[in-house]
Chain A
Amino acid sequence: MAFKGVDYYGIEELLSDEEKMFRDTVRKFMEDEVEPLVVNSFHKEEPLPLEDLAPKLGELGMIGPQIPQQYGGGGANHIQEGLLCQEVERVDGALRSFVEVQSGLVMYPIWQFGTEEQKHKWLPQIASGKTIGCFALTEPNHGSDVAAMETVAKKDGDSWILNGAKEWISEGSTADISVVYARAEDGIRAFLVPRGTEGYTQTFMDKKGAMRCGDVGQISLNDVKVPEENVLPQSTRLKQVFMCLDQARYGISWGAIGAAMSCYETALNYAKEREQFGAPIASYQLVQQDLVNMLTEITKAQLLAYRLGRLLDAGKARHQQISMAKRNNVEMARMCARTARSLLGANGCSYDYPPIRHMGNIEAVYTYQGTHFIHTLILGQDITGIQAFTREL
């Protein structure tokens, strides 16, 4: 039977018709068109064929769903965006990264901080899946501490000259357009750099243990000239960077549920069929405890993500609440992947079964968009009023 979702607490009843319909479209598309490609792509570390898939995602409204329709988006709410991430990551985390990078990290800053011209030029093409973007923030020497970034932008007449290096950038080696962050005299600014610009190189990062179905790349910037029209005028501080990250973190909190659902479903079915010592392993108390723990944690994570989505739609969510959902749900998915992997025994070590693929992917998710510790510190500061990110030594 086709996957019907994990819903122990009747969350289905809280969803509108439009939310359910979009979820079902994404679910069917992922099962029909992406799932058959994933095992091989992961095994060979050959990214999913985005030149073929991305336009299909675009047609279905899976890229930039929350962007207004006038710019080629779908005008969806946050629950629809969340359900999209859930269903995509249930099949593969790298494709969910792609979706969330386009929507939350490339389209969102152009929409929020760009000029009307930039919005009309870039947003419809990215929404259609015919142009792929990336978000270049992380550097070899600065990950969590983005404020210390070394990439610089110097004003040169009507243009800017960029120098520096970025790495661990999703879609980094294939993107047609990159949102590059660099330190200018007046703060951290965002630049739109198209593929092929002189001095700008994009390289595929291989030998990854995570996100093997996706493209992650390094970018180097060597006297790259960017015209003023490619600067996002309203993105002048770290605050705007964090606003983008919040978008993607929210999507991650749902994506993690998808990965966990896949692990739980796989483990439950396996445990009911696999017999050892003359009985299905699901009949043993220890195995039942593992299954119950997974289901309970998934259910809690669903309620957190659902409530957060409604708060965002009402304009009432605080960024610390997004941190809590990202932190909790990714930790939860990590536990589910590990537990499911072990319940499958040796088969759990095969890429033919989803848990070990999710297990690899979720490690990246645990680190990107703010590591687990960083979100702990964000919440710690919120409740104690004391920041614990930096210290004098």
Chain B
Amino acid sequence: MPGVNMIVCCKQVPDPEAPPVVFKVDPATNKMTLPPEVKPVIGQYDEFAMEAALRIKDKAGGKITILSLGNKLARDVVKKTLAVGGDELILLEDETFEEGDSWSTAHALAMAIKKTGEYDLIFCGRQSSDWDAGQVGLGIAEILGIPAVPLARRVEAVDGKVRVERVIPDGYEIVEVGFPALITVTSELGSLRYAALKGIMAAAKKQPIVWKPSDIGLEPSQVGAAGRRTKLAKLFQPVKEAKGEIIEGETPAEAGTNLAIRLREAKII
């Protein structure tokens, strides 16, 4: 088919803009609990990944398939990817997909991508907006045996290749890679476009495709919590203690000297 055949992985996460105080950890189960007013959203880096794919589609044309893995995915959240210009939405949706780690998530997504057939580019956010592990994208590339370019701030498809500007500590470098390849996208790429009313009404006519583990050739024991390769030893909220100390002196100059002595004692200067 003409144009670039793309897959974007988008994760539904609790709104990261919610204030930290509302996130509570239940020490008995080692799980996070959330009040109902914290609504789900698509992770922000995954939104940048979606925008990257849309920019390629704007210029070169093509097809965008969105994959989202989880359980009880809110349709108005995940369908936003169709409303902004995605073509097809596949949900890996089952309770057995819950509580996975980076490995089991990457594994399931890779299996789903294989099932979708031919593809040119896969886009992921640089990391999820909840666990921030940043391993799923690279994990998918590893399992599929394709090259990965992390931290893209700009992407452009040219003659069966993709040119990526990737962020490095003191600037960016330009990398070219042939299809198929996986790209993880960073915030510098820019925000996802708004879902316009016309796109929303067009998306209303499309139903997401739902796949269970058996649809991607996996047993329930291979996905989600059961398929984890890491064990979460302890989940806790650090208690931040900020101690202040007032350094005094008869005159400002003396206070300054005392401060310098104190800093030297603390081996700061």
Chain A residues proximal to chain B, CB less than 8 Å: 1-2, 4, 17-18, 20-22, 24-25, 28-29, 59-62, 65, 69, 74-76, 80
Query: When A76-B201, A80-B197 are in contact, do A17 and B18 touch as well, CB less than 8 Å?
Result: no
Q: In the bound complex, how far is the Cα of B83 from the Cα of A20, in angstroms? A: 12
Interface of A is mostly: helix
Contact B194 A21 (CB under 8 A): no
Query: When A21-B200, A22-B200 are in contact, do A60 and B80 touch as well, CB less than 8 Å?
Result: no
Q: In the bound complex, how far is the Cα of B151 from the Cα of A131, in angstroms? A: 42
Can you list, as one digit per residue, whether each of B29-43 has a CB less than 8 Å from chain A (1) or not (0)? 000000001010000
Quote the shortest CB–CB distance from B134 to chain A (angstroms): 25
Quote the shortest CB–CB distance from A233 to chain B (angstroms): 29
Residues of B within 8 A of A18 (CB): 76, 200-201, 203-204
Contact B194 A20 (CB under 8 A): no
Q: Interface residue tally of chain B, by bracket?
A: 20 to 34
Q: In the bound complex, how far is the Cα of B168 from the Cα of A164, in angstroms? A: 68
Residues of A within 8 A of B75 (CB): 17
Residues of A within 8 A of B17 (CB): 1-2
Q: In the bound complex, how far is the Cα of B196 from the Cα of A65, in angstroms? A: 11
| A-B contact list, 7 entries, CB within 8 Å | A20-B76, A21-B76, A21-B195, A25-B200, A75-B201, A76-B201, A80-B197
B63 at the A interface (CB under 8 A): no
B79 at the A interface (CB under 8 A): yes
B168-213, CB < 8 A from A: 194-198, 200-201, 203-204
Leading 7 A-B pairs by shortest Cβ distance: A61-B197, A74-B197, A17-B76, A20-B76, A60-B196, A18-B204, A17-B75
Among B18, B39, B196, chain A packs the most CB atoms within 10 A around the CB of: B196
Query: When A4-B37, A20-B76, A74-B201 are in contact, do A61 and B196 touch as well, CB less than 8 Å?
Result: yes
Q: Which of B37, B194, B198 contacts A28 (CB 8 A)?
A: B194
Q: In the bound complex, how far is the Cα of B115 from the Cα of A280, in angstroms? A: 58
Among A22, A29, A65, A76, chain B packs the most CB atoms within 10 A around the CB of: A22
Quote the shortest CB–CB distance from A379 to chain B (angstroms): 33
Contact A65 B194 (CB under 8 A): no
Contact A61 B37 (CB under 8 A): no
Quote the shortest CB–CB distance from B58 to chain A (angstroms): 14
Contact B195 A25 (CB under 8 A): yes
Contact B204 A22 (CB under 8 A): no
Residues of A within 8 A of B37 (CB): 4
Q: Which of B19, B76, B83, B196 contacts A1 (CB 8 A)?
A: B19
Q: Which of A1, A69, A80 contacts B18 (CB 8 A)?
A: A1
Q: In the bound complex, how far is the Cα of B194 from the Cα of A80, in angstroms? A: 16
Residues of B within 8 A of A17 (CB): 75-76, 79, 204
Residues of B within 8 A of A65 (CB): 197
B1-49, CB < 8 A from A: 15, 17-19, 37, 39
Q: In the bound complex, how far is the Cα of B17 from the Cα of A59, in angstroms? A: 27
Quote the shortest CB–CB distance from B268 to chain A (angstroms): 35
Quote the shortest CB–CB distance from A17 to chain B (angstroms): 4
Residues of A within 8 A of B198 (CB): 61, 69, 74
Quote the shortest CB–CB distance from A78 to chain B (angstroms): 14
Residues of B within 8 A of A76 (CB): 197, 201
Quote the shortest CB–CB distance from A18 to chain B (angstroms): 5
Residues of B within 8 A of A29 (CB): 194
Q: In the bound complex, how far is the Cα of B204 from the Cα of A389, in angstroms? A: 46
Q: In the bound complex, how far is the Cα of B79 from the Cα of A132, in angstroms? A: 32
Q: In the bound complex, how far is the Cα of B194 from the Cα of A62, in angstroms? A: 12
Quote the shortest CB–CB distance from B121 to chain A (angstroms): 26
If A21-B76, A24-B76, A25-B197 are given as contacts, then 9 extra A-B residue pairs at C-beta distance below 8 Å, sorted by A number, are A1-B17, A2-B17, A22-B195, A25-B195, A59-B196, A60-B196, A74-B201, A75-B201, A80-B197
Q: In the bound complex, how far is the Cα of B15 from the Cα of A28, in angstroms? A: 14
Contact A21 B18 (CB under 8 A): no
Quote the shortest CB–CB distance from A254 to chain B (angstroms): 16
Quote the shortest CB–CB distance from B215 to chain A (angstroms): 23
Residues of A within 8 A of B76 (CB): 17-18, 20-21, 24
Contact A60 B201 (CB under 8 A): no
Q: Which of B15, B19, B39, B83 contacts A21 (CB 8 A)?
A: B83
* In the complex, residue of chain B having the shortest beta-carbon distance to the beta carbon of A60: B196
Q: In the bound complex, how far is the Cα of B80 from the Cα of A211, in angstroms? A: 33
Q: In the bound complex, how far is the Cα of B203 from the Cα of A74, in angstroms? A: 13
Contact B18 A25 (CB under 8 A): no
* In the complex, residue of chain A having the shortest beta-carbon distance to the beta carbon of B199: A61
Q: In the bound complex, how far is the Cα of B77 from the Cα of A18, in angstroms? A: 10
Residues of A within 8 A of B204 (CB): 17-18
B231-260, CB < 8 A from A: none
Quote the shortest CB–CB distance from B139 to chain A (angstroms): 31
Quote the shortest CB–CB distance from A44 to chain B (angstroms): 28
Quote the shortest CB–CB distance from A155 to chain B (angstroms): 41
Contact B79 A62 (CB under 8 A): no
* In the complex, residue of chain B having the shortest beta-carbon distance to the beta carbon of A10: B36
